[in-house]
Every structure is written in structure tokens, then in C-alpha cells.
Amino acid sequence: MNNKEKLEGIKCKKCGYFQHISHLRCLKCKNDTFDIVEAKGNCILLTYTILHAPPMEFREKKYYILGVVQFENGMKAFGQICPKENLIIGMKLKPIYEKVCNDLDGNEVYGYVFK
Amino acid sequence: MREVAIIGVGHTKFGRLNDKGLLDLLCEASLDAIEDSNTSDTDFDSVYVASMLAETLNHMTGVASALVDRIGLLPTAADHIKNGPASGGSAIKNAFYAIASGACELVLVSGAEKMTHVTLPGGVTSAVATMTHHNAERIHGASLPSFAGLLTRSYMEKYNVPKEWITSIAIKNHRNGVNNPYAHFQKEITLKKAMESPIIADPLQLYDICPISDGAAAIVMCDADIAKKYCDSPILITGVGQATDTHIIYEREDLTVLNALRICSKQAYDMAKKTPNDIDVFEAHDAFTILEAIQSEDIGFFKKGEGAKAAHEGLTEIGGKIPINPSGGLKARGHPLGATGVAQVIELVWQLRGEAGKRQVADADTGITCNFGGFGNNIVSILVERM
């Protein structure tokens, strides 16, 4: 998991619908060919929550912030939000690749957080 | 399709039941439902058991096989139905089609969960969070309460709704739960106390969130043509619907819309030839207060953005325009995951039979449920009527 993963989505070659990279067929038209699109630049905060009752893997933190962000090309992502105060819907954030937790098997898990 | 009737119900107390295991609870509710149905020693054609976390929390597989053995129903066919917190609704849907198709005549549905023995901090939250999308959500620390927090913030911003309106749903459900002897909490709470309770997933607070509960609920269903042989007041299931939505919640065009509920409730209304105006009572899936507000909109009772306002204005009280959760809902009755969808239907059966005591909705003829799986990505609606 230490090799930096790209923050990518897929765009349907037939209808142009943009979706998460895990889909094998298009949610809109069932086509199975896509262009990979990389998230570029900054993103904006769409919504967030401050979670004070984390799942087991995240209990070393007393609380953390989770949010949905959107990049200029329309791609959305979900992850931890780093500014702890003065959060404003629409504020600009930058994706940073780093360790997010140890999973229940003790493995280090990496992903994007938004700072 | 044949018509399908409910002829018996069984419901254990919900709450912290330290001296009972998962199988004990399933047996208790099942035997009570069989007794209530007056089917005595008649053979069943099929048994559907709903439990979401038997393997994870109770280290048990094969719960359906174990149940039929323990309550003397061998060699009846038995299946374990798992659809997250909508397992109960899914089990009823499967039983409905088994009877409606003509394949089965007499069927038992039993749902249960045993959760309160888990003492590891975050243990139940982690087990439930396995429903979320692994790469897009789970590894970042997502949990069901975190999604409810996101949804609450989005709803409050989009529709300019004060938090008090949303939390008033918990106050109403606790008030209803006082009169439900099976409820986890039979205690009123004040809006002041709820608004001062600890933040769990900002802006959601402790009193916006259902408890972790033990409990079981069971129903006996049969071909409506033979229902009166067993029961003076059978209740018909006339509408059933189920639909799915995106696994990743941010892939929904509007986070505040439960598209799966719009679709599955329309299926149930259409099958029963009913509209929202025909419904006398609604059992919602208020795992979080915001969900009752949004479900009351997407199932057709209120315009988008007006569900929390309606609750605040008293329209969803017993005696209001559309009574919601006279049982106390998940907030007060409790939420033993696999039991919930069955318990919702049982509350409607009691309401339609006129057996709901101090929480009775006057002249209730028709009711509907929303049993919410995942975070709205797999929803079941059941519509029932007096025969």
C-alpha cells in the first residue's frame, strides 16, 4: 500500500458518465469501456461531519472530520478533512497521500486526506 | 398471484437482554408467533430467518437450520436472509413471494440480533461499517453515523432547517415508546436534554441516534384463502417493494434523496393500488432522526425538505396527519438489526387489529414500512391492510 495510488475516476466511453473506478459497467448505460480520468488540482468541500465515535481501527483518534469533496473536472471523493476549525462549505482543499489508519489485521492503510 | 395474510406475531422485549443468546431470542419470538397464529402443530412449508451479524457478533452460522431444529419444525425448508439492517424486510418479501407464487402455503419469518454483549469500543460500529464501500469509504474511517452526519448537514443547509426540528423526531418517538411494553426505552426525553447531549457525528447528537439492542420479532404468514381458518383478524400484505441505490453515497446526484425508497414504495403502492393518501400509519427506519424526516418525504407524505418541519409541527404524532412510528421507532423501540423490519410490520399488525393500547392510531386500516439497508442502498417497503 506504500506505492502512491493516483486519485482517479472513470468516464464512460459511450455516454460520458463519470463514476468511481471500482465500477465494471456504467451505472447509466451498462457500457463496459471507460477512459481513466485523473483528479487534478484543488477541490472544494461539499459537506462534512465531525465523527466523535470512530470505528475500532480509528479509535486512537478522539475524533476526526470526514467529508465529500469535488474537483474542478467534476470528480468527487470522500475522505478525512484536515483543517479542524473554521470549516466552510465550498472552501478549497488539497489532496495529500498519507497513512490513514492501521486496519484490524495491523496493516498500514494509505489514502488521500484533504488539507 | 395469491393473496398473502399475516395470522400471527411474536415480539420479544427489545433492549439489553443479558441472559438470552441469539438463538434463544429467535425461538422465543417464533414460538410466540406460532401460538398467536393458532396453527398449533400444522407443518410449515418454509422458514426465513433474518440476522445481519450472527457470524461476526455471535460466531454462529446456520441460524435458520438451528432454529427449525430447536423449535421442532424439521424437515421444513429454512433460509438465512441477510440484507443488512433491511434483513427483516427482505425475509418478509421472500416469504410473500413464496406464498403468492403458490409454492408455499404456511411460512414463518423470524428476525433477531444479539448485540449488547460486545464491549470493545467501536466494535459494533466497525461490524456495521463493513456495509460501506471498502476503498471509497471504509478505509477512510466511514461509519453509518458519519453518513447520517453528512446527510443531516446537507439537509439543514439545502432546506434551511434548524437542528431542533430534526431532533423533535426523537422526542416524539420516545413519547410513543413509553406506551410500547416491548420498547428498549419506555422513557420520555426533553428537547433541551437532547439538544445538550454529546455530539456523535456533528451535527448529530447522542439522542438523534438509535441504541444498540438485543431482540427478536417473528410473524406467521399464509395463503389468505386459509387465513380465517386460523385467525379472526388476518392482516393482508397487499404491497411489497425493494430497490437499490449507489453503494458509494457521494455518487448519488442528491445526498438528501432516497431514490431506492421512492422506487420501492411506488412498487408497493402500485401493487396494492394505493397512494400515500390512503395510508393511516407509517413505520419509518429512524436509525438516525434525519432518516425519518427524509423517508417521510420520499415515501410520499411530505414535499422535499418539509419532513422535519412536519414533525416539528406535530403532523406525525399519533392523531396527526400521518402518524409515524407509534411504536417508538428504532430510537425508542430499539434496533436489533435483523429484527427491525419484522418488528415494523408487527406494529402495523397490532395497529390494524386495534391492539396497540395507548399508542393506538384511530381507525387504522392501512399501513406501510420503510426498512433501510446499508445507507439507503437497499430498501424494502411492505404495505399492509385489514382483510
B166-209 pLDDT per residue, tens: 999 999 999 999 999 999 999 999 999 999 999 999 999 999 99
Dump pLDDT digits (tens) for B49-93: 999 999 999 999 999 999 999 999 999 999 999 999 999 999 999
pTM: 0.97
- Would the CB atoms of A55 and B255 count as touching at under 8 Å? no
Smallest Cα distance from A91 to chain B, Å: 15
pLDDT band, residue A103 (cuts 50/70/90): confident
All residues of chain A having their beta carbon less than 8 Å from the beta carbon of residue B201 are: 49-53
- Would the CB atoms of A52 and B123 count as touching at under 8 Å? no
What ipTM describes this predicted complex?
0.94
All residues of chain A having their beta carbon less than 8 Å from the beta carbon of residue B198 are: 52
- Cα distances (angstroms) measured from residue B105 to each of A22, B5, B19, B49, B369: 43, 10, 35, 17, 24
**DSSP state letter for B317:** S
Dump pLDDT digits (tens) for B180-192: 999 999 999 999 9
Q: Kindly state the percentage of chain B with pLDDT values over 90.
A: 99
Question: Nearest 5°: phi and psi at B378?
Answer: -160, 100
pLDDT band, residue A1 (cuts 50/70/90): very low
How far is residue B66's CA from residue B70's CA, in Å, rounded to a whole number? Answer: 6
Dump pLDDT digits (tens) for B334-383: 999 999 999 999 999 999 999 999 999 999 999 999 999 999 999 999 99
What pLDDT, on the 0 to 100 scale, is given for residue A5? Answer: 78
- Would the CB atoms of A51 and B141 count as touching at under 8 Å? yes
- Average model confidence (pLDDT) for chain B? 97
Q: Are A57 and B134 a contacting pair, CB within 8 Å? A: no
Q: Which runs of consecutive H residues, i.e. helices, occur in chain B?
A: 22-37, 54-58, 63-70, 87-100, 123-129, 144-159, 163-177, 191-195, 224-230, 259-272, 289-298, 307-312, 329-333, 337-353
Helix (H) or strand (E) holding B218: strand B215-223
Q: Closest partner residue to B250 among A58, A78, A111, by Cβ?
A: A78
For B:232-251, CB contacts with A below 8 A are 246, 248-251
Helix (H) or strand (E) holding B286: none
Q: Report how many Cβ contacts below 8 Å link chain A to chain B.
A: 109
Between β-strands B46-50 and B106-113, what pairing exists: parallel, antiparallel or unpaired? parallel
All residues of chain A having their beta carbon less than 8 Å from the beta carbon of residue B139 are: 100-101, 103, 109, 111
Extract the C-alpha cell encoding B294: 427524509
Q: Are B374 and B144 a contacting pair, CB within 8 Å? A: no
Kindly tell me if the per-residue pLDDT of A3 is higher than 70. no
